[in-house]
């Protein structure tokens, strides 16, 4: 098996005469309204024979993984294999690049996608996130590709057992797909503190997966995106040593500091051969250096100016008042899921700047549901240009794609994350919402586990009260008697059970040993 980077989270896999592409992304307009671009630039690969694979495998519906621009240039007889999700968002995006055969594969079901190459998917346990890892294998070699998926330790162990205990390559991202804390109205010191904590949590997860999977080689990838639009160039600071978007080299260096030596940084066109263990470097990168980032991005941005100008022209400032459309849209959203409304349980404000906009709010509180003018009393407030609202309301830009564009600012009081608000906005699909409700409300065994911190022992419920993640697998103890669930980073004060950074039912927690004061 030959594993070649094709940029960002994309790979070309060759075995014998078979070739497949995984999550190819090449659009000259980037992704998420021209906000994200592969870093470094991978367009030189378009001059090679990359448009005629035997199959394409796509992990999930984020536009840095599914690229309609690229798919439109691939022959229609090339099939696409994807995980089966409760939502049709991923097939819809694939078909926007033209008609082709799409095979939706159930979790853990191994499927031959090209002669001698087989794939199976492993989805995140909670359907609140439609992310899947994939295993690509031949008769002799195994690649575990995590993409954006955050699998639990037990899922990783199950993968390892399924493939016979040997994983040749682990590809895993060191930079998450996030707008937090970048878009929030924190001062510089607080934003830096939160970025460092987010970066640390992500890299710690990378090390945890590596420890369980024990691969022959680890390939850090999918980080970072480059921001080329003048309005977003400041976000590139997040590629620095305290940011949430570390580059591949930084991830490899961090892993080396943890004693993880077998890592390979592959730039687009570089190849790792699983049989020989050798790396073939693409000569295109002879003069490239990650520490010359600012100069490289300046030239990259200049080459993309015309593409960005065309994209912006497709989203003009509105020539009408958007209030009635906003009202009708959220009337539908409020009627979709009483369960989600109950868990959101707050007013959310939208400050739309520019022609056709205004300050409007949506009240999700049960018994108070409705849409009003003004943003008084809102716990969350999103502020963005009115030009972006029409494509959100007509469904051509999903909310999550818009949030990943970073073309907004946000504030919240209290400063608590609300997972159900994002879930309702990003899905707005009854089957997907029902799947989350079923997962979160299903009966669990009333098991408890004991945890030890700061000289104390607490007996706590085994399954997280937010989304039923198994805290025996996903619970991490932090300083000050705080337990963090890695499923969604919710944190609980073990002394009180209170969730201190999000909206969740309290954790059942009892002090059974240790000082009480």
Q: Residues 130-186: pLDDT tens digits?
A: 999 999 999 999 999 998 999 988 999 999 999 999 999 999 999 988 999 999 999
Q: Which region, left, alpha or beta, applies to residue 395 given φ > 0 means left and ψ of -120 to 50 means alpha?
A: left
pLDDT in single tens digits along all 517 residues of the chain: 999 999 999 999 999 999 999 999 999 999 999 999 999 999 999 999 899 999 999 999 999 999 999 999 999 999 999 999 998 999 999 999 999 999 999 999 999 999 999 999 999 988 888 999 999 999 999 999 998 999 988 999 999 999 999 999 999 999 988 999 999 999 999 999 999 999 998 999 999 999 999 999 999 997 789 999 999 999 999 999 999 999 999 999 999 999 998 999 999 999 999 999 999 999 999 999 999 999 999 999 999 999 999 999 999 999 999 999 999 999 999 999 999 999 999 999 999 999 999 999 999 999 999 999 999 999 999 999 999 999 999 999 999 999 999 999 999 999 999 999 999 998 888 889 999 999 888 877 688 999 998 889 999 999 888 877 888 888 888 888 999 887 777 899 999 999 988 878 899 999 998 766 5
Strands annotated E in 317-385: 347-353, 359-363, 370-373, 380-385
d(CA 438, CA 236): 40
| Residue listed under structure tokens 């100016």 | 305
- 133 contacts 162 by C-beta, under 8 angstroms: no
- 218 contacts 261 by C-beta, under 8 angstroms: no
Domains of the chain listed by start with CATH number = 2-307 (3.60.15.10), 323-437 (3.30.1050.10), 448-513 (no CATH)
pTM: 0.91
Q: Residues 438-475: pLDDT tens digits?
A: 988 887 768 899 999 888 999 999 988 887 788 888 88
Q: Residues 8-29: pLDDT tens digits?
A: 999 999 999 999 999 999 999 9
């Amino acid at each position: 098996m030959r594993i070649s980077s094709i940029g960002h989270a994309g790979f070309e896999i060759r075995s014998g005469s078979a070739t497949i592409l995984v999550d190819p992304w090449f659009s000259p307009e980037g992704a998420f309204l021209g906000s994200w671009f592969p870093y470094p630039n991978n367009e030189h690969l378009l001059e090679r024979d990359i448009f005629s694979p035997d199959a394409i495998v796509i992990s999930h519906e984020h536009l840095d993984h599914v690229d309609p621009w690229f798919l439109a240039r691939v022959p229609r007889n090339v099939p696409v294999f994807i995980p089966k999700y409760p939502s049709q968002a991923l097939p819809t995006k694939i078909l926007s690049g033209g008609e082709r055969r799409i095979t939706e594969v159930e979790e853990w079901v191994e499927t031959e996608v090209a002669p001698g190459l087989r794939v199976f998917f492993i989805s995140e346990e909670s359907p609140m996130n439609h992310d899947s890892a994939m295993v690509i294998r031949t008769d002799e070699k195994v690649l575990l590709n995590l993409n954006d998926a955050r699998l639990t330790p037990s899922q990783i162990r199950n993968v390892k057992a399924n493939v016979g205990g040997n994983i040749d390559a682990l590809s895993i991202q060191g930079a998450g797909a996030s707008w937090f804390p970048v878009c929030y109205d924190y001062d510089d010191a607080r934003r830096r503190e939160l970025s460092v904590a987010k970066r640390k949590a992500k890299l710690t997860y990378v090390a945890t997966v590596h420890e369980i999977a024990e691969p022959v080689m680890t390939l850090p990838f999918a980080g970072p995106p480059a921001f080329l639009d003048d309005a977003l160039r400041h976000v590139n600071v997040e590629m620095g040593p305290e940011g949430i978007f570390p580059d591949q080299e930084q991830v490899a260096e961090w892993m080396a500091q943890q004693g993880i030596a077998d890592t390979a940084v592959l730039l687009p066109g570089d190849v790792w051969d699983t049989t020989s263990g050798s790396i073939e470097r693409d000569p295109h990168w002879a003069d490239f250096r990650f520490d010359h980032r600012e100069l490289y991005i300046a030239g990259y941005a200049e080459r993309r100016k015309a593409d960005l100008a065309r994209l912006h022209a497709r989203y003009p400032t509105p020539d009408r008042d958007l209030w009635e459309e906003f009202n009708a849209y959220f009337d539908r959203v409020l009627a979709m899921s009483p369960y989600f409304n109950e868990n959101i349980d707050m007013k959310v404000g939208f400050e739309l700047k520019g022609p056709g906009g205004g300050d409007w709010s949506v009240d999700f509180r049960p018994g108070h549901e409705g849409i009003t003018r003004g943003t008084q009393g809102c716990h969350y407030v999103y502020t963005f240009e009115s030009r972006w609202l029409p494509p959100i309301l007509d469904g051509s830009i999903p909310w999550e794609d818009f949030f990943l564009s970073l073309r907004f600012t946000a504030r919240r009081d209290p400063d608590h994350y609300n997972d159900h608000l994002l879930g309702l906005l990003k899905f707005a699909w009854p089957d997907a919402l029902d799947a989350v409700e079923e997962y979160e409300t299903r009966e669990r065994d009333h098991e408890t586990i004991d945890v030890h911190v700061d000289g104390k022992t607490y007996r706590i419920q085994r399954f997280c009260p937010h989304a039923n993640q198994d805290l025996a697998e996903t619970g991490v103890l932090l300083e000050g008697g705080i337990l963090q669930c890695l499923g969604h980073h919710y944190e609980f004060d073990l002394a009180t059970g209170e969730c201190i950074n999000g909206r969740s039912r309290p954790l059942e927690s009892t002090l059974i040993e240790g000082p009480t004061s």
